[in-house]
């Protein structure tokens, strides 16, 4: 028994640790692609193309026209906790980038086959880089490419048998989740053109999402969902405190999306797509009072001082802690009351823009 023969405590093999942790950073297809899109946004891209083969099951690729990666970073690019975005703990308080944990690329290479093609403005030619599962650069060759970066991941989860089986079984669902997530980024990003294509069978390519990357949230909603959807929305502009506000759009009382809850609900904090279950619940509650047959579309963008938010709660950063959550919910409640009150026949609150 363990009592009479104490067992030795030994460190877990490094590569095993790496694989255990990687599976927690990259939970599914959507999370994997999200990390690449966020890297492109962090690199200042104004054009981001997402290509999927067999809904991402075979491979997926994110092509951007961002800054590119300079050759002296090639060897460390895919190493765990290597980042160009964060040096010291206090920096966490003032981050403006999506990434900062330096673990997306390292996790992706532990879970699939990762290659990178990149060129900065200082190089006349691009480099194609191949990494092994531990993040070691194993091959490097020159190739033609504009300034920017392409990251390709083949056979995601092929070395996690259970996850791989789950992924194959749920490909359509996973794909749906991914498209919804890409919609979120296309809605909130300003001046970034998004294209997403999916290729199935023998090169049948379909365009899933295409935006021009104009400016305002309103324009983005029109490109992503269309004018018909937009015309059923009511602007929301609620001032929560001196430094806190929410802007966005909600379904007019009679014109919800009618689909599943959360289907078309998007929440952002300082430009970052996040889950806000309490806000969603509140919106649904108020909406139910005005229209019990449908769920509202909700696209709500919160501006909250960085120092009052903690996005470093889960590796995917979808969960967020707000130090002033109670007062935010309180202000929201009052705003929603006004929007969905029967006396507000046309449901118009404040003016937009
Ligand atoms: P993080 O984004 O948290 O820094 P990642 O593993 O996602 O960690 O990326 C590691 C580093 O690789 C980034 O800090 C960045 O310097 C570089 N990088 C990744 N993708 C791109 C890209 N598309 N364009 C330019 N640099 C990139
Ligand atoms: Mg990143």
Q: Quote ipTM for the complex.
A: 0.99
Distance CA 217, CA 310 (A): 24
Distance 36 CA to ligand 2 centre (A): 7
The tokens of 208 are what?
């899933």
Q: How far from chain centre, in Å, is Cα 142? A: 31
pTM score, two decimals? 0.90
Please list the alpha-helical segments (H only) found in 191-276.
Answer: 217-225, 227-230
Based on the fold, state whether residues 98 and 54 are members of the same structural domain.
yes
pLDDT greater at residue 231 or residue 24: 231
Contacts of residue 64, Cβ cutoff 8 Å, sequence gap at least 6: 40, 43, 45, 47, 48, 49, 148, 149, 150
Please compute, for residue 281, the number of CA atoms within 13 A of its CA located in the half-sphere on the CB side: 4
Based on the fold, state whether residues 147 and 293 are members of the same structural domain.
no
Q: Is the pLDDT of residue 197 over 90?
A: yes
State the DSSP H helix or E strand holding residue 115, giving kind and residue range, or none if neither: strand 113-119
Distance CA 235, CA 218 (A): 9
Based on the fold, state whether residues 231 and 201 are members of the same structural domain.
no
Which of 45, 67, 78, 99 to probe ligand 1 with, by most ligand atoms within 8 A of CB?
99
Pocket lining: 149 vs ligand 1, CB cutoff 6 Å: yes
Q: Which ligand is nearest to the CA of 95?
A: 1
Number of domains in the chain: 2
Last residue of a domain, one of 181, 210, 239: 210
- In degrees, rounded to 5, the angle at the alpha carbon of residue 182 between the alpha carbons of residues 273 and 291 is 70
The dihedral through the CA atoms of 25, 30, 36, 40 has a sign that is negative
Pocket lining: 48 vs ligand 1, CB cutoff 6 Å: no
Distance CA 160, CA 70 (A): 32
Domain range enclosing 149: 14-210
Mean pLDDT of all residues belonging to the chain: 88
Predicted confidence (pLDDT) per residue in 306-328, tens digit:
888 888 777 777 888 888 889 99
Last residue of a domain, one of 180, 210, 240: 210
Distance CA 249, CA 230 (A): 9
């Amino acid at each position: 028994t363990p009592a009479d023969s104490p067992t030795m405590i030994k460190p877990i093999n490094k590569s095993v640790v790496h694989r255990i942790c990687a599976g927690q950073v990259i939970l599914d297809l959507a999370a994997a692609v999200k990390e690449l899109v966020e890297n492109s946004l962090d690199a200042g891209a104004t054009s981001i193309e997402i290509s999927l083969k067999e809904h991402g099951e075979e491979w997926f690729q994110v092509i951007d026209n961002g800054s590119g990666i300079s050759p002296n970073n090639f060897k460390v690019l895919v190493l765990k906790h290597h980042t160009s975005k964060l040096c010291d703990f206090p920096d966490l308080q003032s981050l403006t980038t999506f990434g900062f944990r330096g673990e997306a690329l390292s996790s992706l290479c532990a879970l699939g086959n990762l290659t990178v093609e990149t060129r900065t403005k200082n190089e006349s030619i691009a480099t194609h880089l191949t990494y092994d599962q531990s993040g070691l650069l194993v091959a490097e060759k020159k190739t033609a490419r504009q300034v920017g970066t392409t990251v390709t991941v083949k056979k995601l989860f092929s070395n996690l048998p259970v996850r791989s089986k789950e992924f194959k079984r749920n490909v359509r669902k996973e794909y749906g989740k991914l498209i919804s997530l890409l919609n979120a980024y296309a809605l909130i990003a300003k001046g970034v053109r998004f294209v997403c294509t999916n290729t199935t069978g023998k090169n049948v390519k379909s365009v899933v999402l295409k935006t021009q990357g104009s400016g305002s949230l309103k324009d983005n909603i029109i490109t992503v969902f269309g004018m018909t959807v937009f015309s059923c929305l009511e602007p929301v502009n609620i001032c929560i405190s001196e430094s806190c506000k929410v802007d966005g759009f909600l379904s007019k009382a009679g014109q919800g999306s009618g689909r599943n809850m959360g289907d078309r609900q998007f929440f952002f904090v300082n430009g970052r797509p996040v889950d806000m279950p309490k806000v969603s619940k509140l919106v649904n509650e108020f909406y139910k009072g005005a229209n019990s047959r449908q769920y509202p579309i909700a696209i709500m963008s919160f501006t909250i001082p960085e120092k009052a938010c903690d996005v470093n709660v889960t590796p995917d950063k979808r969960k967020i802690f707000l130090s002033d959550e109670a007062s935010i919910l309180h202000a929201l409640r009052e705003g929603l009351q006004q929007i969905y009150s029967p006396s507000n026949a046309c449901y118009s609150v404040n003016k937009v823009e």
